[in-house]
Amino acid sequence: MTPAVAVTDLVKRYKKNPKPAVDGLSFEVRSGEVFGLLGPNGAGKTTTVGVLTTLVIPDSGSATVEGVDVVKNPTKAHELFAVVPQRNNLDRSLNIRQNLVFHAQYHGVGRAERNRLADEILERMGLADRAKDKIDIVSGGQAQRVMIARALMHRPKVLFLDEPSTGLDPQARLFVHDRITDLRADGVTVVLTTHDMDEAAKLCDRVGIVDHGKLLALDTPAALTRSLPGSTTVGVTVSLAGVQPEAVADALSTVDGVERVEEVADGPSTSDSGQFRLYTESEPAVALPLVLKVLSGLSCDVTDLSIGTPSLEDVFIHLTGRELR
Amino acid sequence: MNSVSLRTFGAVLWRDVFVTGREMLPFLAQVIVQPFFTLFIFGKVLTSIGYVGGNYAEILLPGIVALNGFLGALQNTTMPLIMEFSWTREIEDRLLAPISVPLVAVEKMLFGALRGIVAALVMVPVGFLILDGVSWPASTWLPITGIVVLGSLVGAAIGMVIGTSVPPQRINILFAVILMPLMFTGSTQFPWAQLDHLRWFQVVCALNPLTYVSEAMRAELVPHVPHIPIWVSLLVIVASCGLFGALGIRGFIRRALN
C-alpha cells in the first residue's frame, strides 16, 4: 500500500544559516494513522511540514503525499492534503464562514455542497453562532478551530497540523485533541508536529523524534519508552532500624536484574527511614521478589513501594539532551 | 491551463472581486479624489486664470486617464501583495489551492489591472464634467479602451515587481521614492515629443513605460499635437508587459516559496 506520506533523504538549507534545517530526514506515515513529529524548537519539524505542503523547496531528497511528488507536482498534491499552520493565516477580508466557503470554492467543491459542508463543519467545530464574525475579532483558540474547519472543507486525505495546541487553553486543547481523534476515526491520516510529550503520547499511533534535522527514533510511544536504557524504576522506602543506608544500597545493587541503586536524598533524612530508587534492566516484577528478600534479610521493613515507568519526556530528553534551544 | 487550474483561477479572481464589491466606495474615493484635484487645478483653475493655455485641458485629460489606469493598476497590485505577504501570510490559502504559483501571480496582476481599468474609465466622465470644451469622438472609444487595458496591464506588472520586492516595513517610502517619480516622468501632464529642449528629462521620461501609454492616448485623441508614433508606443507597452510580467512572476515565486 502506498504510504500516506513518504520523506526520503530530505535536506533543506536556508540562506544565511550554514547548518541545514533538515539534514537527511527519512520516514513514512501509514495511511490512516496519527503520526507525530516530536522535537525541540528549531529541530526542523516545521520545515519538514513546509516541504510536504509545497511551500518550502528542498535542496535534495524527495517527499510524497499519497504517492504524489510534492516538489514535481504541487498542484496535484494540493488536492490531497490540507494544512493547519502555527500562525493565523485566515483571510482577514472574509468572515469565518466565507473563509470556509471560498476555500472550498478554490478546491472546486460545488456551491450547494460547499454551503452544506460549511454549516455542518461550523456546527461540529462549535462555531455555528460565530459564522458571520470577522477574523480580526476571533481569539487564538477560535482561529485554530476555524483553520481546522477550513482545512476539512475539501475533504483532504492527509491533514498536517503544525503545533496544533500551542498557545491554547486547556479546553481548546482538549477540543482539538477530540477532533483529531474523530479525524482518525474517519480515516484521515494526520501528521502533527509538537514539542508536547503528553499530546504526542495521547494522540499519536507513532512518533518520530527529530533533532537538528535528523530522525533520532521512530516507533509507537509505548515502544519508545520501553527502549529507554534503565527503562523502569522501583522506588522503595524502608525503615532502617539501625542499618546504615549505604549497606542497604550495596545489598540491593547485588540483586539480579538491578542495574543501579540511588539513594534518594529527600530533605533532612528522618533518622529512621531510607528511600532508594532501583533501575532495573527488564520488567521490575522480575527483580521485585529478590529485592524484598534482601530487605527482609537486613530486617528492614518496607513502608512504601512504587513502580515507575519512564514517560515520553524521558525518552525525548535522553535523545535530544537538556541544553536550551 | 487545464480545467482544474481554470476553475481555481476563476474562484481566486472571484474572491478578489467579491472583496472589492463590498468596499466599492473606498475604492472609488481612492481612484477619483487625487486625479479630480489634478484635473480641477491644472485643467480648470490655471486655465481660467490664464497661466495655462486654453487647450491644455485636452492634452491633460488623456494623460490623466492613462495615469489613473497605470497607477491604479500598480497600486492595486502592490498594496494587497505587500499586505498578504506580510506576517499574516493570508495568501497561503490560495497558494495551496490546486493552481500553480505563477498562475496565482497572473491572477493578482489581472485583478490589479481590472481595478486600474475601472479607475481610468471613471475619470473620463469626471473629466468631461470639470473641463470645458473637451470631447472625445465615438470613433476613438474602442482604441482608447484598448490602450487603457494595455496601460493597466503594464501598471499591474510593474506593481507585481514592486510588491514582491518592497518589504512591508518600507511601505511608507514606496510613495515618495517610487510612485512620485513614476507619476511625474510618465509624460501625463505634457507631450513627450515637445521636450527636445530639455533633452535629459526627455531621456528619463523615455525610460518610464507610462510615457508610452500617455503618448498612445494622445496619438488617438489629439493627433495634431506632436507624439510618438502609435505603433512604437504599443510595441513598448506590450514588451514592457512581457518584461515586467516575467520579473514580477519571478519575484512572486521567490516570495511564495522558501
pLDDT (tens digit, 9 = 90+) per residue, B102-120? 999 999 999 999 999 999 9
Task: Give the pLDDT band of residue A269 (cuts 50, 70, 90).
Answer: low
* pLDDT for B70: 94
Mutate to test the interface with B, among A17, A51, A76, A89 (most CBs of B within 10 A): A89
Pairs of residues, one from chain A and one from chain B, whose beta carbons lie less than 8 Å apart: 79
By the CB < 8 Å criterion, does B257 face chain A?
A: yes
CB-side exposure of B155: number of CA atoms within 13 Å? 38
Q: How confident is the model at residue A302, as a pLDDT? A: 81
Sorted by sequence, the CB contacts under 8 Å of residue A227 that are 6+ apart come out as A217, A219, A315
Task: Supply the CATH classification number for the domain A232-309.
Answer: 3.30.70.1340
> Best mutation site among A102, A146, A157 for testing chain B: the one with the most B CBs within 10 Å?
A102
pLDDT recorded at residue A220? 86
What number of other Cβ atoms are within 10 A of residue A259's Cβ?
15
Instruction: Report the top-level CATH class of A5-226.
Output: alpha beta
Among the residue ranges A171-180, A269-278, B181-190, the one predicted with the least confidence is A269-278
pLDDT band with cut points at 50, 70 and 90 for residue A236: confident
d(CA A80, CA A12): 23
Question: How many Å lie between the alpha carbon of A166 and the closest alpha carbon of chain B?
Answer: 17
Least confident of A83-97, A204-218, A305-319: A305-319
Q: CB of B223 within 8 A of CB of B68?
A: no
Contact across the interface for B90 and A57, Cβ inside 8 Å: no
How many CA atoms lie within 13 Å of A225's alpha carbon, on the beta-carbon side?
Answer: 16
pLDDT of residue B20: 86
Whether A92 sits inside 8 A of B88 (CB atoms) is yes
The CA distance from B257 to the nearest CA of chain A, in Å, is 5
> pLDDT at residue A243 above 80?
no
CATH 3.30.70.1340 positions along chain A are 232-309
For chain A, percent of residues with pLDDT exceeding 70: 93
SS3 B52: coil
Cβ within 8 Å, pair B258-A50: yes
Window from A51-65, A210-224, B198-212 with minimum mean pLDDT = A210-224
State the CB neighbour count (10 A cutoff) for residue B65. 30
Contact A55 B97 (CB under 8 A): no
For A68-132, give the DSSP string: EETTT-HHHHHHHEEEE-SS----TTSBHHHHHHHHHHHTT--HHHHHHHHHHHHHHTT-GGGTT
In this complex, the residue of A14, A92, A108 whose CB is nearest that of residue B4 is: A108
A50 contacts in B (CB within 8 Å)? 258
Q: Which among A14, A83, A93 has the least Cβ separation from residue B19?
A: A93
Chain A interface, best mutation among B93, B107, B255, by max A CB count within 10 A: B93
- Asked if A90 lies within 8 A of B90 by C-beta distance, the reply is yes
Cα–Cα distance, A58 to A50 (Å, whole number): 9
| Predicted pLDDT at A247 | 79
- Judged by CB atoms closer than 8 Å, whether chains meet at A91 and B90 is answered as yes
Higher pLDDT, A250 or B74: B74
Q: Do residue A78 and residue B92 have CB atoms under 8 angstroms apart?
A: no
**Mean pLDDT computed over B135-145:** 88
Q: Where are the domain boundaries for CATH 3.40.50.300 in chain A? A: 5-226
pLDDT the model gives residue A198: 80
Mean pLDDT over B180-191 rounds to 90
Minimum Cα–Cα distance from B22: chain A residue: A93
Tell which residue, A229, A248, A227, A253, has the closest CA to residue A238: A248
pLDDT tens digit sequence for B63-109:
999 999 999 999 999 988 888 887 678 888 999 999 999 999 999 99
pLDDT value of position A231: 61
What grid cell was written down for A207?
512518533
Q: CA quadruple A254, A256, A259, A265: dihedral positive or negative?
A: negative
- pLDDT at position A268 over 60: no
A281 CB-near residues (< 8 Å, 6+ apart): A230, A257, A258, A259
CB contact under 8 A, A75 and B87: no
pLDDT at A267 over 60: no
When pLDDT is averaged across residues B221-238 and rounded to a whole number, the result is 91
Nearest to B93 among A76, A103, A108 (CB): A103
Q: What number is the average pLDDT over the span B173-185?
A: 86
Cβ count near B127 (within 10 Å): 23
